[in-house]
């Protein structure tokens, strides 16, 4: 693939759209595909060229980037791409979704028979990093594939790392999100305890962030999204629930017993069930707040009753 080759982005949601815009800004011709005409129109205003369908984009692009909700949709879109024949059709799929590693490897084996190669390259960093072009990208594929994908994705990522063979990127992404979910849940519970005892959550976080309990949740997510009551990180609680499930199933597949991970998965799933559809993952604190009569914001006061009541 040359730097002038046309690239298609399938999935112009909160992550896909800013990534497509970054590629346009780097001088690439970018086609955009999405089931929502409104997001296609919004991307078109930033010079992302609309494609009427996946098949149309596959006939006109060397590489197609997928940013989709789950493996089922990825499989369906990949089948549409593989069905396109003729000169100039897509020869490479870069799946940047949070897909299931085992299904990614199975899909790669099917696609190669159609003359299409698959590289997985999921990301971490959220919407802000997608806009800024500072995502962490975890690439699964051969060394030769990584060299091509690294050049392609340079405008969207500040850390683009080859983590192993195809499927490895999706595996590491799921494990990363498992660890993130764990820190989010334990921080939510700890801040609820602190508030019930009468400690201002802002003070509690400031202390923890200079001590050994700090994490991405205490340093970034709670200060940015929970304390100011924004809850707009751009990543839903349901998608985190899905990724945690991928990680725990991966552990079972490779024969590793993960007692804590399983507990985190069960707790996350329980709390997600108490949130409205589409809730941001930082809203995982809300069911705890409702149950214990506190709100995790600066200046939270202890309840009138004793903490032991």
- Catalytic member of 49, 173, 221, 242: 173
- Give the C-alpha separation, 191 to 294, whole Å: 10
**49 classed as catalytic:** no
Q: Which residues are catalytic?
A: 173
């Amino acid at each position: 693939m040359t730097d002038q080759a046309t690239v298609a982005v399938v999935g112009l949601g909160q992550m896909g759209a800013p990534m497509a815009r970054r590629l346009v800004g780097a001088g690439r011709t970018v086609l955009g595909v999405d089931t929502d005409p409104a997001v296609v129109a919004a991307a078109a205003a930033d010079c992302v060229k609309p494609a009427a369908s996946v098949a149309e984009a596959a006939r006109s692009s060397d590489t197609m980037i997928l940013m989709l909700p789950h493996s089922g949709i990825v499989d369906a879109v990949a089948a549409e791409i593989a069905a396109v024949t003729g000169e100039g059709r897509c020869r490479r799929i870069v799946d940047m979704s949070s897909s299931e590693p085992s299904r990614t490897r199975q899909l790669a084996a099917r696609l190669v028979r159609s003359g299409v190669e698959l590289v997985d390259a999921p990301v971490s960093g959220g919407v802000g990093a997608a806009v800024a072009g500072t995502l962490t990208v975890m690439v699964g594929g051969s060394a030769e594939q990584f060299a091509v994908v690294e050049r392609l994705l340079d405008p969207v990522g500040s850390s683009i790392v080859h983590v192993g063979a195809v499927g490895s990127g999706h595996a590491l992404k799921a494990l990363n999100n498992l660890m993130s979910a764990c820190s989010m849940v334990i921080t939510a519970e700890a801040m609820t305890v602190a508030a019930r005892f009468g400690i201002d959550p802002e003070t509690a976080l400031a202390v923890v962030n200079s001590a050994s309990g700090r994490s991405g949740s205490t340093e970034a997510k709670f200060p940015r999204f929970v304390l100011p009551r924004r809850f707009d990180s751009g990543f839903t609680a349901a998608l985190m629930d899905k990724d945690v499930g991928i990680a725990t199933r991966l552990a079972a597949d490779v024969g590793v017993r993960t007692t804590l991970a399983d507990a985190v998965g069960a707790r996350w799933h329980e709390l997600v069930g108490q949130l409205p559809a589409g809730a941001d993952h930082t809203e995982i604190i809300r069911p705890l707040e409702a149950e214990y009569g506190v709100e995790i914001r600066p200046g939270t006061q202890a309840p009138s009753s004793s903490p032991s009541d």
